[in-house]
Amino acid sequence: MASSSVKPLLYAAGAVVLWGTSYAVTKSAYGSVPPMYVVWCRMIMAMVAFLIILPLARKLNGASPMARYQKGDWKLLGLAMLFIPCLYYAFEGYAISFTSSSQAGVVTAVMPLIVALTAWAVLRETPTARTVVAALVSVAGVALLSLSGQHAADATNPLLGNMLEMGAMLAAAGSTLVVKRLSTRYSPLLLTGLQMVAGSVFFAPLALCSGPFHWAHTPASAWASIAYLGVGCGLGAFALYNSALRLLPASRTALAVNVVPVVALITGWVALNETLSWLQIVACVVILGSVVVAQVGVRMAI
């Protein structure tokens, strides 16, 4: 396979690995820092990293501009920043308080289908039969993976939690479509950096209103976890995903997101000694197989 074809797949794979490992790291950070503070601090760290990297990126970019603004782009840029990280992390953060992670995982699997349908309607992308079948099989695999796990007893309001999780998926789908449209005129790093800046502002009042927090008593391990979430799973992962989105159809890029639960499960098994059943292993194989089938052998959009 040509290097130009492999590159976007490596971008998507990098984003998936970073997002998949974020669950175990987030669980570790939540042990010392309230959830909204974790989100806010990771946004700040991502923003600082972006501001440090930006001059170097501009230098490496040479004569090519990182942005070619067109009249009315501010609306699309505003939507991209509103969808992710603002609405996505707000919905996602509260959803898990009301529903179980297994039910949330099933809802999450619907995101690639939403992207495929909206990309067909808005971007005039016509998904191949291979992509559609792979998406459906992938959804079934994620459902099997989620429902075969341990059920949480503290799902106080599953209906509300699942609706909030669906809101997060709609926000993720909306961001995918908007960023896909903007990616022809703006560099992935710049788009990602703007999203992190918006998140630093948006989550400040949510964190400060969530209750008192003793900064001085936070262990170094928690700050290391938050730094990884911000720089790696935030700025790095979204920059990689946006780079893949620039080169691949939106429907195929979004399909890779369904591999995130697989990486999360394996990470929990390796790092946190969580159990892994044979049924979950089968589900992982189904998900990985469906995504690989969708990506391999189809001409890339360069």
Per residue in 92-139, pLDDT tens? 878 777 776 656 666 777 788 888 888 888 888 887 777 778 878 887
Number of structural domains found in the chain: 1
> Average pLDDT, stretch 161-179?
89
pLDDT at 299: 45
Residue 300 lies in a domain: no
- Tell me if 64 is assigned to some domain: yes
Cα–Cα nearest to 12, from 196, 256, 249: 256
Q: Are 107 and 169 in contact (CB under 8 A)?
A: yes
Average pLDDT for residues 56-81, to the nearest whole number?
84
**Whether 134 contacts 289, CB under 8 Å:** no
Neighbouring-strand partners of residue 186:
67
Q: Please state, in angstroms and as integers, the Cα–Cα distance from residue 29 to each residue in 33, 44, 230, following that order.
A: 6, 15, 12
User: Which ranges of the chain would DSSP assign to H, the alpha helix?
Assistant: 3-30, 35-61, 73-81, 88-98, 101-108, 111-118, 129-147, 158-182, 188-208, 220-227, 237-247, 250-255, 260-271, 278-295
In whole angstroms, give the CA distance from residue 147 to residue 103. Answer: 7
Give residue for tokens 């990182």.
66
Q: Is residue 102 part of a domain?
A: yes
pTM of the model: 0.84
Domain range holding 12? Answer: 3-295
pLDDT at 245 exceeding the cut of 80? yes
* 156 falls within a domain: yes
Q: What is the pLDDT of residues 188-217, one digit of tens each?
A: 999 999 999 999 999 999 999 988 888 888
Average pLDDT in the chain: 84
Domain presence at residue 69: yes
**pLDDT score for 278:** 83
Model pLDDT, residue 1:
44
